[in-house]
Structure 1
Amino acid sequence: MDLTVWDATAVRELFCVLYGGHRDSHGEWHPNVHEAARRRRVSVRTVQRWLKARDDGQASIPPAQLAAITGRRRVRRSDLRREELQRMRQKKMLEREALGRGRGNLRADYSETGWLEPHVVLVLEDTQRPLRRIAVVKDSQTARRRATRGATVVDVSVARNKFLAERTRYEYLEAVGPWRIMLPGRSVPTGHTQVWLASAPLPTTPLNIDE
């Protein structure tokens, strides 16, 4: 999480996620300032002042206040380390695959798991909150339908196997890293540590999807 790159839109989205809000007919999110004021123990006018955009596009909220609000929402270092280990594992599997037959033959270990079949990388946006998340599933209508339930599909990439799809997942998460937040596990279906604010720039995909 890098708060220095957050603009006023990102801060409003964060307030919507934490305190509720609604999206208007133009697609812009508006936080519930009354709930935010109650939870932060400040006046409604103070919250409104925090959310107001400055001339440079940044929100007017003092950095110390924003840091206090986001403190418990930062992705834990342990989660980031685990993601890095997973990404390195996918890289090693792809390197092994590139060796071809013999040492590079993955079928003996993974032919029955379905991991060698095509998979899709789905970027999904919550219909009720300004949040996006990523899902990796088999390239089938049933799997896609299950994964996209209650969400809007923002982007889709197809990978030749799960190893490549998973590596793409972690490349994507790295690209949106400054806007990632962590939510309680019950707040999202899966991947509560792998969500980010919807206004984050969308990385160019596919990311090495055809390698």
Structure 2
Amino acid sequence: MIRVLVVDDHAIVRQGLEQLLGTADDIELVGTAGDGEQACALAGELRPDVVLMDLAMPVVDGVRATARITTELPAARVVVLTSYGDESRIMDALDAGAQGYLLKHTDPDALLDGIRAAHTGGAPLDPRAGRVLLDRRHRAPASRELTQRESEVLTLVAEGLANKQIARRLGITERTVKAHLTNAFQGIGVSDRVQAALWAREHLHPTER
């Protein structure tokens, strides 16, 4: 069961998401918060698997709340769910540690799939967010050529696999996967898994397995 915390300052949005999550057999709503400060407190108490995070909120905004939650609870996956699709907000949220970025006009089934993807290490992204990141990557090409193993690891990241799954697929340790990712991030000039996945989808072909 995927345990979800919903964070939004509009009660009607929280109620709508509660109804939607209630239709999924594998997802459980464990709590709701109306601002970022409350979200951080509840996240520490409830230890959710996934946090659906609005951005524009009183007291503490979604970006700062995301940074705090991902720092204090590294296992929690924050998926931004907002009305804002401008580049600065997208980059601020992802730089703060968000695992995904979806807009509120997202199809309900796609939102549920995004929660599932984030829970397993994937990076659910609205196409607009994806275009922003790809544009950034085009403006910042790789600083060095990747090794074959780094390319294989990045390809599997792009498929949505978590480090443990990548380790099993390639027959290496999870520690080795992390080392390859660290080197690959430096090589292609990205700072997080979401941007790495998008870079790989744009530049790498699936490995022969």
Question: TM over 0.5: same fold?
Answer: no
Q: Please indicate the TM-score interval, normalised by the length of the shorter structure.
A: under 0.3
TM-score normalised to the size of structure 2? 0.22
TM-score normalised to the size of structure 1? 0.22
Write 1 or 2 for the structure with the bigger share of strand. 1
Higher RCO structure, 1 or 2 (CA under 8 Å, sep 6+): 1
